[in-house]
Structure 1
Amino acid sequence: MTPLGEYLIQKSVKKADVSRKTGISTSRLTELTRNEKTKLKAEEAYLIALAIDVEPGEILEKVFANLKLKKVKNEKR
């Protein structure tokens, strides 16, 4: 299960409803919710957010919570 899949379950969202509202196929949604290697496109994240009535940033924070900036040494100017 991907972070997107877990998020949609938490929100009690049905993939069929999201598919109808967004035009994203149910097979694509299944891939996005089950396969960790499947990349979520920005357009898809935005459409899903609109379909489930949440801010797009909320989906990004949940789905990409593991992304962090690299620590770098202070740069001299």
Structure 2
Amino acid sequence: MTRITKLGYYLGKRSVNKAQVARRTGLTRARMNELTLTETAKLRAEELYLIALAINVNPGEMLMDMYQDLKLIEES
């Protein structure tokens, strides 16, 4: 199923050129499309790190921005 992913939304907000990111990181355009358009795609930590470097963003801040909606399960 094709639906924009958290990474796709994040890059879209910043008007990032995915082809340029692919060239700078060594990721293929197909992998960039998968990571941004396929909700079942798994973003690896090293991919997030390289993408953050390519767009001049702190990797930790990028991670926090993309996944801030995740919460721990409340223990009873």
Q: TM-score, normalization: structure 2?
A: 0.89
Q: Deviations over 1:17-73 (max 9, x none)?
A: 101110011100100001111010000000000000000012212322231111113
Q: State the distance in 2 between where 1:26 and 1:59 align.
A: 21
User: For residues 1-77 of structure 1, what are the structure 2 equivalents within 5 Å?
Assistant: 1-73=4-76
- Where in structure 1 are there 5+ consecutive unaligned residues? none
Larger radius of gyration: 1
- Where in structure 2 are there 5+ consecutive unaligned residues? none
Q: State the distance in 2 between where 1:42 and 1:70 align.
A: 23
Moved over 6 A (4+): none
AA aligned to 2:29 is T
Q: TM-score, normalization: structure 1?
A: 0.88
